[in-house]
Chains A and B, each alone.
Chain A
Amino acid sequence: MSPWSGPLQKVDDYRWRIPRSYKSGMRVDGLVFAGEEMITVIKEEQSLEQVANVAFLPGIVNYSLAMPDIHWGYGFPIGGVAAMRLSDGVVSPGGVGFDINCGVRLLRTSLTEAEVRPQIKELVEALYRNVPSGLGSEGKIRLRRGEIDEVLVKGSRWAVEKGYGRHDDLGTTEEEGEMMDAEPEHVSRRAKERGIPQLGTLGSGNHFLEVAVIDQIQDSVIARGMGISQTGQIMLLVHCGSRGLGHQVADDYIGVMVNAMKKYNIDLPDRQLACAPIDSAEGKNYLAAMRCAANYAWANRQCITHWVRESFCQVLKKTEEEAGLELIYDVCHNIAKIEEHEVDGKRVGLCVHRKGATRAFPVGHPDVPSKYAGIGQPVLIPGDMGRYSYVLVGTEQAMKESFGSTCHGAGRVKSRAAAKRELRGENVLRELESRGITVRTGSLKGLAEEASQAYKDVESVVGVAHNAGISRIVARTKPIGVIKG
């Protein structure tokens, strides 16, 4: 496929505009957050065409946005953010993606690398054993008949009530792990069938558990506010989503939307953008079902968190209190949410689509947990398994410019096929081990697909988000143990 050759205007060192004059039908300009070198790489594929296509969606305001980790997706680009007016806008399941509420959570510990490293092999082994992972994996949770609906309504709270984790985990989870207006009657029987056996599983692909160590603190005041006090401190990361349940909800409603588009006279350049008015029956039902899938994902990460804590305490022979295992935060990066933002000087209700983008609300925003009211919402950006991950906070600039959103990860540069062709899983494993990273995986091929070389350097991605002002770097972690499905 040839490189993208559409018009791109440099706004400043970190911003690029695709003028709406590029294609008739674009309702707003595209705005891409990227550095100069990055944009050269981005133009090699068609993700910028997708930014332009998203600008066709009815009711879109300000810009069709792309975060610095933008890469080629389907319909929406990965790293795409778009907000539609509630009054006349649309909701698009493709703007959320198949893995609804794929997200990340970060737990702090009070232990240091010196205390954990001697037992890292046992720890990684215990995590691999206690958290079901891998392709087609099934969980150990047995739901009673009809209980899946409770999971879909209560999300993390369901898990905590069942003894998975602690009540105070809810306060440090986006939406408190429970999106309101989730209606299980709009989730198909099939989606529930797929979800029931998979609850409490990590899955495969780019999902992972990581034992990490703080290796840099950029802002020590904010870091302390999150319980990050020193380099060498051990952290635990969980990255996963809504499994087959979310995939099925997306499938079901993309089908519904494809048919609804004719009814509502919506014409778009890519069928994967299929959408319906937010206040139509199709739009409302999708949002009600999507919230269920989001809640499922939160329940899933909450159960996994419990087993992560258990494993950690067992191997290191500590109580939870001694280990200081507190949830810093849980963010979701594939979602559509009804939020209020300022557009042309007025507060307006919008449906904000974040497809591979993280919410980044600033100090003082009512949705930021009270614990973080003075520092802003923690933003968790996992990198690839060989390099770093980052902790950032949301900013006022993000509210002004990106509907309170920032990047979500490193962003791929190499296709899975290319990664597998060029890299052998055994070699990737050996290289990681030689750098002091213990890895446990169910699939060596999958490991090659997820090798560092297949990703942009997350440092440059986060650097753009920081320099553009749409979030602020707090600390950096590097992995010492990785579990991949």
Chain B
Amino acid sequence: MKRFELLEHTADTGLIAYGHNLAEAFANAAYGLFSIMAELDGVREVESQMVAVSAEDTESLLFNWLNELIYVFELERRLLKRFDIIEFDERWLKAECWGEKYNSSRHQLKSGVKSATYHMLKIDKDQVRVIFDV
């Protein structure tokens, strides 16, 4: 099963992420986000951290989840590639996120992502769509 597909948007980049259920689509959206930011092949799953977000509804949950990960990347300089969703409902998500610290000698960064946006953001049964400001 395809995890995500990139969407073209004139100034920006977006994606549609798929899953067997919504939680998996959220995990794949996160994977898609990091694959926009960096070449993930060389990233090892050697350390993990817990990320938890809450929101008023599922749209905001996706917005908050992806922006939380952008924050983690920027502040802790950690590239993440595996997202084990531990708890999930429309307004709450907790995940164990695996990856490693960015190392310029081994990792290749691709595009900077400023933020996820609400523009065209869409939640379906088992897929999500989001546009990033890059």
| Residues on A facing B (Cβ under 8 Å) | 45, 47, 71-75, 78, 94, 97-99, 134-136, 190, 193-194, 203-205, 244, 247-248, 250-251, 254-255, 258-259, 270-272, 274, 412-418, 443, 445-446, 449
Contacts and interface: CB of A to CB of B under 8 A. Distances in A.
A98 B8 CA distance: 19
Contacts of B64: 255
Given A94-B118, A247-B133, A418-B8, 11 more contacts: A75-B118, A98-B114, A135-B37, A135-B112, A203-B112, A205-B134, A271-B121, A272-B121, A415-B8, A415-B9, A449-B111
A197 B37 CA distance: 19
Q: Chain A CB within 10 Å — which of B10, B63, B74, B134 has the most?
A: B10
B10 A247 contact: no
Contacts of B10: 45, 47, 71-72, 412-415
A98 B133 contact: yes
Contacts of A247: 70, 114-115, 133
Contact of A204 (B8, B112, B118, B121): B112
Contacts of B56: 258-259
B131 interface: yes
Given A251-B115, A443-B109, A74 B71 contact: no
A248 B64 CA distance: 11
Contacts of B119: 73-75, 270, 272
A139 B67 CA distance: 23
A71 B11 contact: yes
Contacts of A244: 74
B77 interface: yes
B8 A194 contact: no
B92 interface: no
26 contacts: A45-B10, A74-B133, A75-B117, A75-B118, A135-B109, A135-B110, A136-B109, A136-B112, A194-B75, A204-B112, A205-B134, A247-B70, A247-B114, A255-B60, A255-B63, A258-B118, A270-B119, A271-B59, A414-B10, A415-B9, A415-B10, A415-B12, A416-B11, A443-B109, A443-B110, A445-B111
Contact of A417 (B13, B117, B120): B13
Contacts of B117: 74-75, 98, 272
B40 interface: no
B88 interface: no
A99 B114 contact: yes
A110 B56 CA distance: 58
A193 B118 contact: no
Interface in B80-124: 102, 109-112, 114-115, 117-121
A470 to B, nearest CB: 22
Given A135-B112, A194-B75, A445-B110, A274 B12 contact: no
Nearest to A71: B10
A255 to B, nearest CB: 7
Nearest to A50: B119
Interface in B1-25: 6, 8-13
B94 to A, nearest CB: 19
Contacts of A272: 117-119, 121
B112 A254 contact: no
Nearest to B117: A74
A445 B77 CA distance: 21
Contacts of B9: 72, 415
Q: Return the 7 tightest CB-CB contacts between A and B, nearest first.
A: A74-B119, A271-B118, A74-B117, A272-B118, A415-B8, A272-B119, A204-B112
Interface residues of B, number: 35
Nearest to A74: B119
Given A98-B115, A99-B114, A73 B11 contact: yes
B115 A250 contact: yes
A333 B50 CA distance: 38
B49 to A, nearest CB: 16
A136 B38 CA distance: 11
A107 to B, nearest CB: 25
A270 B6 CA distance: 21
Contacts of A255: 60, 63-64
A203 B112 CA distance: 9
B6 to A, nearest CB: 6
Contacts of B121: 271-272
A98 B112 CA distance: 13
A243 B11 CA distance: 18
Contacts of A203: 112
A134 B9 CA distance: 22
Given A136-B74, A205-B134, A445-B110, A417 B118 contact: no
A452 to B, nearest CB: 16
A92 to B, nearest CB: 12
A136 B11 contact: no
A249 to B, nearest CB: 11
Contacts of A412: 10-11
B118 A274 contact: yes
Contacts of B71: 190, 194, 248
B112 A205 contact: yes
A74 B118 contact: yes
Nearest to A198: B74
Contact of A416 (B12, B60, B63): B12
A205 B111 contact: yes
A416 B134 contact: yes
